[in-house]
Structure 1
Amino acid sequence: MSTVPAHARIVAAATGGRSLAPDLARGAMLLLIALAHAHMYLYGHERGFRGYSLDGGPVDRLVAGLQVLLVDARALPMFAALYGYGLVRLAQRWMAAGADWPEARRTLRRRSWWLLAFGFAHALLLFFGDILATYGLMGLLLAGLVRARDRTLLLVAGLSTLIFCTLAGLTALTIIENGSTPYPTDAESVLAGVGARLAAWSVLAPMLILDVIAPFLLGMWAARRRLLEEPGRHRAMLVRVAVAGVAVAVLGGAPLALIDARVWTDWSTATAVPAYALHSLTGIAGGLGYAALAGLIAHRRAAAPGRVITALAACGQRSLTCYLLQSVAFVALFVPYLGALGGRLSDAGASAVAAGVWLGTVLLADGMRRRGWRGPAEVLLRRLSYRSVHTVGGGTTHADRAGHG
Structure 2
Amino acid sequence: MPQNTTTRGGPPPESGAVPTAQRSLAPDLARGFMLLVIATVHAHMFRVATGGGGYALDGPFDVAVTAFMALFGENRGYPMFAALFGYGLAQIHLRRAAEGREWPWVRRLLRRRGRWLVTIGVAHTALLFYGDIIAVYGLIALLFTAVLQFTDRRLLTHAFAWMAVGGLFYAAVNNVLYSAAQEGSQDVTPLLDMAMRVVTLPFFWPLMIAISAFPFMIGVWAARRRLLEEPQRHRVLLRRVAVWGIGAAVLGGIPHALINIEVWDASPMAAAAVFWLHLVVGYAGGFGYAAVIALVALRLGRRRGPVVTALAATGQRSMTSYLLQSAVWAVLIPPYALGIGPSLTDAQAVGLGVAVWLATVVLADTMRRAGFRQGPAEWFLRRMTYGRPAPASRN
TM-score normalised by the chain length of structure 1: 0.89
Q: 1:88 maps to what in 2?
A: 90
SS in 1 for 2:132: coil
Q: 2:260 maps to what in 1?
A: 260
Amino acid at match of 1:166: L
Q: Cα offset for 1:393?
A: 7.1
Q: 1:105 maps to what in 2?
A: 107
Cα shift readout 1:98-142 (whole Å, capped 9, x = no counterpart)? 322111110000000000001100100011110011100100011
Q: 1:310 maps to what in 2?
A: 309
Alignment partner for residue 38 of structure 1, among 19, 35, 43?
43
Q: Cα offset for 1:76?
A: 0.6
Q: Cα offset for 1:272?
A: 2.6
Q: 1:22 maps to what in 2?
A: 27
Is contact 1:108–1:139 with CA below 8 Å preserved after alignment?
yes
Q: Work out whether 1:371 is the aligned partner of 2:370.
A: yes
Q: What is the alpha-carbon root mean square deviation over aligned residues?
A: 2.4
Q: Which runs of 5+ in 2 are unaligned?
A: 1-5
Is contact 1:12–1:93 with CA below 8 Å preserved after alignment?
no
Q: Cα offset for 1:255?
A: 0.6
CA distance in 2, matches of 1:296, 1:393: 42
Amino acid at match of 1:334: I
Amino acid at match of 2:280: L
Q: 1:69 maps to what in 2?
A: 71
Cα shift readout 1:324-362 (whole Å, capped 9, x = no counterpart)? 000001111222233221232222222111100000111
Cα shift readout 1:188-225 (whole Å, capped 9, x = no counterpart)? 43212111111233311221011111111001000000
Q: 1:166 to 1:309 in 2, by over 3 A?
A: same
- The alignment covers a number of residue pairs equal to 386
Is contact 1:34–1:355 with CA below 8 Å preserved after alignment?
yes
Is contact 1:123–1:129 with CA below 8 Å preserved after alignment?
yes
Alignment partner for residue 158 of structure 1, among 160, 166, 174?
160
Q: Cα offset for 1:66?
A: 1.1
Q: Work out whether 1:287 is the aligned partner of 2:286.
A: yes
Q: 1:13 to 1:200 in 2, by over 3 A?
A: closer
Q: Cα offset for 1:60?
A: 2.5
Residue pairs, 1:195-344, within 5 angstroms: 195-265=195-265, 267-269=266-268, 271-344=270-343
TM-score normalised by the chain length of structure 2: 0.91
CA distance in 2, matches of 1:262, 1:13: 48
Is contact 1:85–1:216 with CA below 8 Å preserved after alignment?
yes
Residue pairs, 1:100-179, within 5 angstroms: 100-171=102-173, 174=176, 179=179
SS in 2 for 1:227: coil
Q: Cα offset for 1:28?
A: 0.5
Is contact 1:24–1:316 with CA below 8 Å preserved after alignment?
yes
Cα shift readout 1:219-241 (whole Å, capped 9, x = no counterpart)? 10000000000011111111111
CA distance in 1, matches of 2:350, 2:103: 44
Amino acid at match of 2:93: A
Q: 2:349 maps to what in 1?
A: 350
Calculate percent identity across the aligned residue pairs. Answer: 43
Is contact 2:97–2:103 with CA below 8 Å preserved after alignment?
yes
